[in-house]
């Protein structure tokens, strides 16, 4: 089994799905998972993309050191060339110097493929001459595909395709086959997009005299409009999900549901169950809908299921701007992990993604809260100034600064004005946290402490003069 990404961009969620499927299949079959970086397209590859792939794989549990590789396709250039030469020498490939225009002029169509002009012209090698594979005229190529049955391709419809360019460099199609062959790959599990390449590749396997692998083309991943996920339009980078605060366990569980489900109507299951129950043959060949809303809900459930201590740890990168997460736009001024631990259980039930922790608790770690001006205007109405005055006075008189006393005290302040608690606490919340929504207020005030709470309430009161 191998996973063979091309490092031409951020690592795509569809790629992550294929990697996991290969990973599990290798485990189930007692096989080896090989990572091969297909880096032969020098113009589009960048080393940082390779690093991104390795670290993203690591994140979802395909950890460095636990697989064979990474191997790099560019290191096998010698073998690719040797295979091209062998195909030429055995008569399975021939040289051709036709340009696209030549072919068009002969066939009268820009849509028709190559017409076999040089098949029997014995051109021989030379600068600017491409090497083409001589496809059989008759018969059919049957691809054995664990997911799609036996897609069959008539050979006469497969053009004599190029295997090495005019400069002698083998094309991807051939390099990919030669690498799989050299590495002894028995199963090629990859995206459906490659299915049209498969008959050509299988013909190459046959021509090179090696038994072709078993194929499995896993379904294309689409958005809610049934369009193939694209990096220009959709959020496709695994890294982006990671930075937003998706948990690796939620992510990999969700990715495995693209086209497959565990037994018994379950969706959220431990990884061990997926490893045990996953059957490549059961993967649905139709396009798989990547439902971000569902993923969010999933992630929320995973977050709630974490032991609190793990939840606290998991939030640290967003709170302190450290770790693997790029520094958040927000920097705490007085971060205190104990204070965070005190409110963490209240926050844990409310998040869908970990980055949402910041607006929930930032008021605890800033010298003064970030005031959301729209929330302020909406909340601070006639009477808010007096209400804050009374609340400050009542809080100052409190003997014990605890959530319960704070609540009953503010309730009494509101009752004097005929206000329900919700209305009474709104101005206090905005004064202290800067927002209209957030964690339960009185627990928040307890953790924030008497001095800071009162200072903020007085400051808000002054703004209302």
Residues contributing to the annotated binding site: 231
Find the shortest distance in angstroms from Cβ 245 to ligand GLU.
Answer: 27
Interface stretch with ligand GLU, choices 187-195, 226-234, 310-318, 450-458 (CB under 6 A): 187-195
In the bound state with ligand GLU, the residue whose beta carbon lies nearer, of 158 and 388, is 158
Greatest Cα pair distance, the chain, in angstroms, is 102
Q: Residue 12 or 92: which CB sits closer to ligand GLU?
A: 12
> Which tokens is 258 given?
């693209």
296 makes contact with ligand GLU (CB under 6 A): no
Q: Which stretch binds ligand GLU (CB under 6 A): 3-11, 39-47, 219-227, 294-302?
A: 3-11
Indicate which single residue of 71, 80, 132, 190 sits in contact with ligand GLU (rule: CB under 6 A). 190
Identify which of residues 213 and 245 has a Cβ nearer to ligand GLU in the complex.
213
With b meaning 16 or more CB within 10 Å and e meaning fewer, what string describes 164-183? bebeeebbebbbbbbbbbeb
Q: From CA 355, how far away is CA 351, in angstroms rounded? A: 8
Say how far residue 204 (Cα) sits from the centre of its chain: 33
Residues in 148-177 at the binding interface with ligand GLU, rule: CB under 6 A: 176
How far is residue 144's CA from residue 202's CA, in Å, rounded to a whole number?
A: 10
Piece in contact with ligand GLU (CB under 6 A), picked from 53-61, 90-98, 188-196, 386-394: 188-196
CA distance 246 to 389: 43
Q: 465: burial class by Cβ within 10 Å (0-12, 13-18, 19+)?
A: exposed
Give yes or no for residue 21 binding ligand GLU (CB under 6 A). no
DSSP letter at 175 equals: H
- Both tokens of residue 352? 């869908």
Q: Which residues are annotated as a binding site for ATP?
A: 231
Q: Is position 317 an interface residue for ligand GLU (rule: CB under 6 A)?
A: no
Active site (annotated) includes residue 423: no
Per the structure block, which two tokens stand in for 264?
């018994």
Residue 236 binds to ligand GLU (criterion: CB under 6 A):
no
List 4, 204, 255, 392, residue binding ligand GLU (CB under 6 A): 4
Dist. CA 395–CA 417, nearest whole Å: 17
Shortest CB 25 distance to ligand GLU, Å: 14
Give the residue numbers marked as catalytic: 231
Q: Give residues in contact with ligand GLU (CB under 6 A).
A: 4-6, 38, 176, 188, 190, 194
């Amino acid at each position: 089994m191998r996973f063979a990404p091309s490092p031409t961009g951020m690592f795509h969620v569809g790629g992550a799905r294929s990697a996991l499927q290969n990973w599990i299949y290798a485990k189930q079959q007692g096989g080896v998972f090989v990572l091969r970086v297909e880096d032969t397209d020098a113009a589009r590859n960048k080393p940082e993309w390779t690093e991104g792939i390795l670290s993203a794989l690591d994140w979802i549990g395909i950890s460095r050191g636990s697989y064979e590789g990474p191997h790099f396709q560019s290191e096998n250039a010698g073998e690719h060339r040797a295979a091209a030469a062998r195909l030429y020498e055995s008569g399975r490939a021939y040289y051709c110097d036709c340009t696209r225009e030549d072919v068009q002029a002969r066939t009268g169509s820009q849509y028709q493929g190559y017409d076999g002009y040089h098949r029997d012209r014995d051109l021989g090698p030379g600068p600017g001459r491409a090497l083409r594979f001589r496809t059989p005229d008759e018969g059919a190529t049957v691809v054995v595909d664990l997911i799609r049955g036996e897609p069959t391709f008539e050979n006469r419809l497969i053009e004599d395709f190029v295997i090495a360019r005019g400069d002698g460099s083998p094309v991807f199609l051939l390099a990919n086959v030669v690498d799989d062959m050299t590495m002894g790959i028995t199963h090629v599990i990859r995206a459906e997009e490659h299915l049209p390449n498969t008959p050509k590749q299988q013909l190459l396997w046959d021509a090179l005299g090696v038994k072709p692998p078993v194929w499995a083309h896993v379904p294309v991943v689409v958005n809610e409009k049934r369009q193939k996920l694209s990096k220009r339009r959709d959020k496709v980078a695994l890294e982006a999900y990671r930075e937003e605060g998706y948990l690796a366990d939620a992510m990999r569980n969700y990715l495995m549901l693209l086209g497959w489900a565990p037994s018994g109507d379950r969706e959220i299951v431990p990884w061990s169950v997926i490893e045990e129950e996953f059957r490549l043959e059961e993967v649905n060949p139709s396009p798989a809908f990547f439902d971000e809303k569902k993923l969010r809900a999933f992630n929320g459930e995973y977050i709630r299921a974490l032991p609190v201590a793990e939840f606290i740890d998991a939030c640290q990168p967003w709170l302190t701007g450290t770790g693997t997460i790029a520094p958040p736009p927000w920097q705490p001024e007085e971060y205190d992990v104990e204070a965070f631990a005190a409110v963490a259980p209240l926050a844990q039930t409310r998040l869908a993604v970990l980055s949402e922790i910041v607006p929930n608790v930032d008021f605890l770690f800033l010298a003064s809260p970030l005031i959301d001006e729209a929330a302020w205007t909406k909340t601070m109405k006639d009477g808010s100034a007096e209400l804050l005055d009374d609340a400050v006075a009542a809080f100052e008189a409190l003997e014990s600064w605890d959530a319960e006393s704070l609540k009953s005290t503010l309730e009494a302040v509101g009752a004097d004005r005929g206000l329900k608690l919700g209305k009474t606490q709104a101005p206090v919340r905005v004064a202290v946290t800067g927002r209209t929504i957030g964690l339960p207020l009185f627990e928040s005030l307890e953790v924030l402490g008497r001095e800071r709470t009162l200072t903020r309430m007085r400051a808000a009161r002054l703004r209302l003069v």
